[in-house]
A and B are shown apart, each in its own frame.
Chain A
Amino acid sequence: MEIGEDLPPKDLPEVLVIKPPPPMILFGDEFIAKKFKILKAWESPLPLDQFLTNYAHSVQAVLCSGASPISPQVLNLLPSLRLVVTASAGINHIDLPECRRRGIAVANSGNVLSEDGADAAVSLLIDVFRRISAADGYVKQGLWASRGDYPLASKLGGKRVGIVGLGNIGLQVAKRLEAFGCNILYNSRKKKPVSYPFFSDVCELAANSDALILCCGFTDQTRHMINREVLLALGKEGVIVNVGRGAIIDEKEMVQCLVQGEIAGAGLDVFENEPNIPKEFFTMDNVVLSPHAAVFTSESFLDLCELVVGNLEAFFSNKPLLSPVTDE
């Protein structure tokens, strides 16, 4: 008998959810509630630590996302925890060393969101260079007829694109942009078995690139990695695209550089203090903004639901996780 099949609800394995991850907000809990008993902390009037103390003592698995960080404080209240599943690619909201120390396995979205993330990065890059959103606005305000032709944009082909972080998403970005005739360069924690030129220093990568695309994770090492020095090295014709995390860029400095014309444009899906964004962006037509939606497609979210359930099923039947987070 498969785990969860034909068992009455009280015998289903328990999964704690502190705050509903986006798939649960969008689809409800049906995709998971048939096979697991969901402990919904957010529905309780009790403060979180009280709730966990009262109800989560024997919980072995937690499903989370960026909205519900797994900190040492939370871990302390989950003495039986053996698995953290996050419905996201990013894992910066999980204290990984602490989980390792306690022997808690961590699973994320593996590769199911990588194609979308890459598509979003490429679409932002094309849009910034070719001014697609700005031109769309121009037409929809009736300005083509009244003001005439739109100013010329910049060709994508032949541009040197520096990818910061050559993991799943970065590699997919590289593969796509090669078809547009871009020259790919990269920086990563470690050199990879690829033919693209490697730069161990992000500043040097920027100096040799016409565009930077951030596809790396957010860690202590990458916080504000893109600072004024890197942006100046990128240069006045340079463009930056960020589908990682907002705080990888020193946002204040980036705004200054855009205002002063020290870089030519930016395509941003993430920001330091979402959903608050610097008001200077509102009037810049060389910037394209999206609301942390790089992986928010119907197709990927269905895949993500399947993967989350798959990881939980594997765990509870003592099988290997489908998408464990490795130390690589």
Chain B
Amino acid sequence: MESIGVLIVCPMNTYLEQELEKRFNLFKFWNFPDKTQFLNTHKNSIRAVVGNATAGADAELIEALPKLEIVASFSVGLDKVDLGKCKEKGIRVTNTPDVLTEDVADLAIGLSLAVLRRLCESDRYVRSGKWKKGDYKLTTKFTGKTVGIIGLGRIGMAIAKRAEAFSCPISYYSRTEKADLKYKYYPSVVELASNCHILIVACPLTEETRHIINREVIDALGPKGVLINIGRGPHVDEPELVSALVEGRLGGAGLDVFEHEPYVPEELFGLENVVLTPHVGSGTVETRKEMADLVLGNLEAHFLNKPLITPVV
């Protein structure tokens, strides 16, 4: 398979890149300053694209690669892949579901705890050497708080299971109500936000869910409410979120994703009720290796004419 051209669109994982290099003729997109020339030169040898949450295969790239057969994403989210275009051209698309579900759910709860209990702020306080005896501060209890989840797919369900262990009543919003669930369904995000203390975004990013967290939802969540985003940055109207937090109209936020990563609004840096992580939802050694193996497995299966492991298209 060493003659098969595979284009990896951005740096994502050293192990994955090394393994791709061993098996295929790997092109690292970021090594070519003149992208147009690169594509013109190599368009007929590239049969696969490997993307991730940062960059994937948009219509322009797909059109520039006439021999493209498969897009394998090193992520579960496919908002950076033009799925319609792929379907149209018969290009296969795979992602990395299941292997990262637990890590992302763990982070959602970890962020919730860190925000409510001011863990990061406390850590900074102790490190400053300013801790004096009798210096007490009360934070907010996590156990028993109502948790509202947007999107009850694999990750949403895993978050619910964890929150239940803390006796948190669970409610959710989804495109359709799920049968046989003991969780309370709300037919709109605003209603969900009005009725929960911690609102967690866990749905895919699509045209419909862009800015699903808008001013109205933020107002409904309110000055005691907390927003946790482990989905995609564009789920949230970021300027609205920032002003709500700065003005105290929202109680707090735990954010792993942002509209223009790696740029994060600096107004958030000094807020002790805000915890920010650099898109590390699946960022563990164990999970990234499993994700890489899944990408490799899907590519191998495709080029050996075997059934794909985790196809979406």
Give chain A's interface residues, CB within 8 Å of chain B. Answer: 22, 25-26, 67, 115-116, 118-120, 122-124, 126-127, 130-133, 135-140, 142, 144-145, 148-150, 152-157, 175-176, 178-181, 274-275, 277, 281-282, 288-291, 293, 296-301
Do residues A122 and B113 form an inter-chain contact, with CB atoms below 8 A?
yes
CB pair A26–B138 under 8 Å, yes or no, is yes
Digitize B129-152: 1 where CB-to-A-CB distance is under 8 Å, 0 elsewhere: 101111111111111100000000
Chain B residues numbered 244-295 whose CB sits less than 8 Å from any CB in chain A? 261-264, 266, 268-270, 275-280, 283-288
Q: Which residue of A lies closest to B105 (CB)?
A: A180
Q: Is B127 an interface residue when CB atoms closer than 8 A count as contact?
A: yes
B101 — nearest CB in chain A belongs to which residue?
Answer: A157
Q: A136-B276, A156-B106, A288-B119 are in contact. Are A130 and B136 (CB under 8 A)?
A: no
Chain A to chain B: the 5 pairs with minimum beta-carbon distance, closest first:
A179-B165, A123-B113, A126-B110, A289-B126, A297-B141
Taking CB as reference atom, which chain A residue is nearest B281? A130
B residues apposed to A, CB below 8 Å = 102-103, 106-107, 109-111, 113-114, 117, 119-120, 122-127, 129, 131-144, 161-162, 164-167, 261-264, 266, 268-270, 275-280, 283-288
* Distance from A29 Cβ to chain B, minimum over Cβ atoms (Å): 16
A179 touches B133 (CB 8 A): no
For B278, the chain A residues whose CB sits under 8 A away are 135, 138-139, 144, 149-150
Residues of chain A lying within 8 A (CB to CB) of residue B113: 119, 122-123, 126
Residues of A within 8 A of B167 (CB): 115
Are the CB atoms of B126 and A291 closer together than 8 Å? yes
Measured between beta carbons, the chain B residues less than 8 angstroms from A282 are 127, 129
CB distance from A26 to the nearest CB of B (A): 6
Given the complex, which residues of A lie within 8 Å of B140, measured CB to CB? 297-299
Cα A145 to Cα B278 with chains together (Å) = 10
A181: B residues at CB distance < 8 A: 102
A288 contact set on B, CB distance < 8 A: 119, 123
Q: How long is the Cα–Cα vector from A275 to B94 in the complex, in angstroms?
A: 53
| Extra inter-chain contacts (6) besides given A127-B114, A281-B127, CB under 8 Å | A25-B134, A124-B119, A132-B275, A139-B276, A154-B285, A297-B140
A144 CA / B264 CA spacing, docked (Å):
9
Query: Please, how many angstroms separate the alpha-carbon atoms of A163 and B55 in the complex?
Result: 43
Give the residues in chain B near A139, CB-CB below 8 Å.
264, 269, 276-278
Q: Identify which of B124, B136, B141, B161 contacts A137 (C-beta below 8 A).
A: B124
Q: Which residues of B contact A119 (CB under 8 A)?
A: 113, 117, 141-143, 166
- A259 to chain B minimum Cβ distance, whole angstroms, is 16
Minimum CB–CB distance for A123 against chain B, Å: 4
